[in-house]
Amino acid sequence: MEVTTTVLSRREHFARVGSTNDVVRDWLASGTPEVCLAVADEQTAGRGRDGRTWLAPPGAALLLSLGFRPTWLAPDFVWRLPAVVSLAMARAAEEVIGAAAQTVRLKWPNDLMIDGRKVAGVLGESVGLGTDDPRVIVGIGINVNWPRDDFPADLADTMTSLLEAAGGRRIDFEGLLDGFIATVEGAIDGLRSGDFDAGDWKARQLTTDRVVELHGPAGAVDLVHAVDVDAQTGALVVRADGRERSVFSGEIRHLRVAPPERAV
Ligand code: BTN
């Protein structure tokens, strides 16, 4: 059963596509109004951040992208689109696995984590920000009915799935998707009137008060103390050498939470 939506202008479910982000980007380019949603059971060219590929066996993950035309959102606040997608998926995931609120944490900027392992990743892309035709695509892939025994060997220690988090109980994809849509629609309506749940966004951050490694584009690794996130700019607030500064997601390739024994 499909939920009745007030925000979605177009919604399609594909058995197999290259990348749902590309599907939505093409829709926006050919005039589809916001907010459009593409869902896929399988991607043959799934992309992650920083040029990485995003792989999931068919039917193991919920793969989707939302397309926006955020003329109603100042470019400085566009980071809130992936943030509300992350928050909505975190809440929908907690609902389907029967977990307490804030069991799903965020690893800045937008990884979803359970018990310190990555369960979902978000890829935000944009075209024409700052023009009168801004387009933003937010894609999310969340590992759902993917058993640990089938995890790729190189990721097995750092990833998880909702199936594992639910103690092996199979997850209802449609229930997860419906919960996500209902929540994200409310959050998008909120954003349109200037509301953003900064409290939940801050409370879920895994990095706050932890030592983290910031991996820069040229390979340099900066060890800093993450003290907070900034709900106005979307930045990670870090302290190093007695000085606080803001780190923006475009400045780094990767963030890793350092083992407890590391000190700044
Ligand atoms: C990351 O953690 O590196 C981001 C991963 C984003 C993956 C999703 S799956 C749906 C959408 N389509 C893509 O090609 N990528 C995103």
Per-residue pLDDT tens over the stretch 36-55: 999 999 999 999 998 999 99
CB 226 within 8 A of CB 207: yes
Peptide bond into 82 cis (omega under 30): no
Pocket-forming residues, ligand 1, beta carbon under 6 Å = 19-21, 43, 46-49, 52, 54, 63-65, 111, 121-123, 139-141
How many other CB atoms are found less than 10 A from the CB of residue 221? 12
What is the set of domains in the chain, with CATH numbers? 10-203 (3.30.930.10), 210-257 (2.30.30.100)
More confident residue, 4 or 256: 256
Residues 185, 107: Cα–Cα separation, whole Å: 23
Residues 240-258, mean pLDDT to the nearest whole number: 94
For atom 16 of ligand 1, which residue has the closest CA? 139
Residues 6+ apart with CB under 8 A from 116: 206, 257
CA of 244 to the centre of ligand 1 (A): 31
CA of 262 to the centre of ligand 1 (A): 30
CA of 49 to the centre of ligand 1 (A): 7
Whole-model pTM? 0.95
For atom 9 of ligand 1, which residue has the closest CA? 141
CA angle 192, 35, 65 (to 5 degrees): 120
With cut-offs at 50, 70 and 90, classify the pLDDT of residue 5: low
CB 179 within 8 A of CB 92: yes
Residues 143-162, mean pLDDT to the nearest whole number: 97
| DSSP label at residue 226 | E
CA of 120 to the centre of ligand 1 (A): 9
For atom 11 of ligand 1, which residue has the closest CA? 139
Residues 234-252, mean pLDDT to the nearest whole number: 96
